Structure 1
Amino acid sequence: MQKIGLLFSGQGSEVAGMGLDLYQNQPTYRAVIDQASQVTGLDLPAIMQTPELLAQTQYAQPAIVAMSVGIAQLLAENNVPITAAAGLSLGEYSALIANQTFSMAGGLPLVATRGRLMQQAIEHQAGQMVALIDPNVAQVQQICAAVQAQGEWVAIANVNSPKQIVVGGTPNGIQQFTTELNRLAPTTKCLSLKVSGAFHTQLFAETAQAFKPFIEQTSQNQGLYPVISNTTQQPFELATLTETLVQQMAHATHFSANLQFLAQQGIDVLIEVGPGKTLSKFARQTIPTVERFNIGNQKQLTSVLAALKEVH
């Protein structure tokens, strides 16, 4: 029997209208979204349809997590066996709610608090991020160190796949970084990301510490299946869960390593749940022999369930 792993979308994958057909056609999904709205005090169906609200971290984060957990619940309802999971950044919270480490009643308000605190940090300290395609990682680290030596902050924030990393920092730091990168490695493709904060860098260190008490106050349980941490590159453990999630906010994510870990555990089917299919692309670049699916709408849900039924 094939071993199935779940991949949970991170922030940046949100799009207006996401999950609407699932909300209209799937009672289980609708119940998850409605419960998430109730426990967070947010009108998530309305937020999911409003580009101006989804553009704000404080609303995008609970919306993405609620959608992802709702899809995971549909898979559970259809008796799809899950062996392990990983999420990119915010997606770790979706995974930890889906595997019942956090309950919906505890986990969704925690995510809403995280989004609110990060929104406040963004308003206090602007940041930028750039994605680099096929970079020389050692060279990138050297450029980051040189920029830091000049008094600006810039660092590798995401190691997504063998072909893509993301660098984040202050606006001036990113400007200096890209100027130097263009000089030293003009063939390296550098794409500016549509984000307003330098997530997973030391610019969020104070916010991470402010968030810590909220994690500590949220009930934590042994999960149904392992979730692989972006930070430690190993399965989350209850004893260190709080500290690992605190570190995650201000340290680089290593999603590529998470994918390799899943493959080493024998996972041969990956299902990305949530808006978009970015993680499936990273999986193709990192572990190309693993079969990949993604579910973000009713048509994809029907197709994936049919494909899995044929296999099993």
Structure 2
Amino acid sequence: MKKFGVIFCGQGVQKVGLGSSLYSNTITSDFLLSLDKSANFNLKKLLTQSEKILVTEYAQPALLAYSLSLFNFAASKLKKIGDIESFAGLSLGEYTALGASGVLLNDQLMSIVHHRGKLMQESCINQRTTLIAVSGTNVYEILSKKLEYEGNRSFYIANINSPTQIVIGTIYKDERELIKSLMEDCASLVCTPLKVDGAFHTPFMDDANQLYRKDILTLTPNFNNNKVYSNYSGTLYNPKNFFRNLSLQMNHSTHMSKIIKSMGNDGINCLITFCPNRSLMKIVKQNLPSMNVINISSPADIVRKIG
């Protein structure tokens, strides 16, 4: 019997026409129609043709809807061949996990995620920041020593994705100098600027997070033995830590590496990643090389890979 874990993508993988294939499938199309009722924008246009999807305010609800519709289609098929044991998501994908697991209602999610994106977008406009993926052996130790040595922070650790990949956030104008400095410290590091609007999951998001906390307090989580991992702590959500952990997610480091390893230790023998490309699948493999991973990017993938 398969024990499935599911992981949902975060922001950065969006593209124009992301959800076009979803409207060619009756199940995903009908699901998106139900979500459209709780959106204050044209969801179909956003997912199929609008360039607004490239902007944080709209990218976040678009990716939420994209992933939830695919999971809704896949879930019934997965349950025929195994049990869905746990849920997680990278950054924004955590909200998808909370919806897919039933902890939060989808109509709540569409509204709050859109506002989350709006606040984060405004923060990026007020202070231009960016993210850099840093890859290499012992990358966490190298970055930690650099932070300790410099004292005043020229960057923050945003995402701990795997033992060989860390994402850091910095002020945009300092990007080139920071990459140069990192390469001087360790020539084997590979530094890749990411196509995002700002340095999410760092203190650069403090002001946006302060405003957003009011939204979180309006949520009504329903825990029914559902295992959903928190990006902030890297551990499972529960009724006692829910509001605190979710309120600290936007402006603190995410711990996807810890989450993936915990899923493996918990007996998960197949991880399903929902992502338009294979980037999330690669992160899983960097943490658990022997894990069976299936990436779902379209309804056709579900039919072909799951049945």
Whole-Å Cα distance in 2 between the matches of residues 233 and 141 of structure 1? 19
State the one-letter code of the partner of 1:85.
Answer: F
2:231 corresponding residue in structure 1: 230
2:62 corresponding residue in structure 1: 63
2:37 match: secondary structure = helix
The unaligned stretches of length 5 or more in structure 2 are none
State the one-letter code of the partner of 2:57.
Answer: Q
Q: Deviations for 1:160-185, whole angstroms, at most 9, x for unmatched residues?
A: 11221111111244344222112111
1:9 corresponding residue in structure 2: 9
Change (3 A) 1:272 1:79: closer
State the one-letter code of the partner of 1:94.
Answer: T
1:284 corresponding residue in structure 2: 285
Q: Of residues 131, 144, 147 in structure 1, which corresponds to 2:147?
A: 144
2:166 corresponding residue in structure 1: 165
2:167 match: secondary structure = strand
Whole-Å Cα distance in 2 between the matches of residues 225 and 278 of structure 1? 26
TM-score between both structures, scaled by the size of structure 1? 0.92
1:261 corresponding residue in structure 2: 262
After the TM superposition, which of the residue ranges 55-64 and 213-222 deviates more from structure 2? 213-222
Whole-Å Cα distance in 2 between the matches of residues 37 and 223 of structure 1? 27
1:243 corresponding residue in structure 2: 244
1:132 corresponding residue in structure 2: 134
1:100 corresponding residue in structure 2: 102
1:23 corresponding residue in structure 2: 23
User: Considering only aligned residues, what root-mean-square deviation do their CA atoms show, in Å?
Assistant: 1.7
Whole-Å Cα distance in 1 between the matches of residues 129 and 191 of structure 2? 16
Deviation at 1:158, TM superposition (A): 0.7
| Aligned: 1:195 with 2:181 | no
2:120 corresponding residue in structure 1: 118
1:309 corresponding residue in structure 2: none
Whole-Å Cα distance in 2 between the matches of residues 266 and 97 of structure 1? 23
After the TM superposition, which of the residue ranges 132-141 and 252-261 deviates more from structure 2? 132-141
1:177 corresponding residue in structure 2: 178
2:53 corresponding residue in structure 1: 54
Identity among equivalent positions (%) equals 29
TM-score between both structures, scaled by the size of structure 2? 0.93
Moved >3 Å (runs of 4+): 144-148, 172-176
Whole-Å Cα distance in 1 between the matches of residues 149 and 118 of structure 2? 33
| Aligned: 1:75 with 2:79 | no
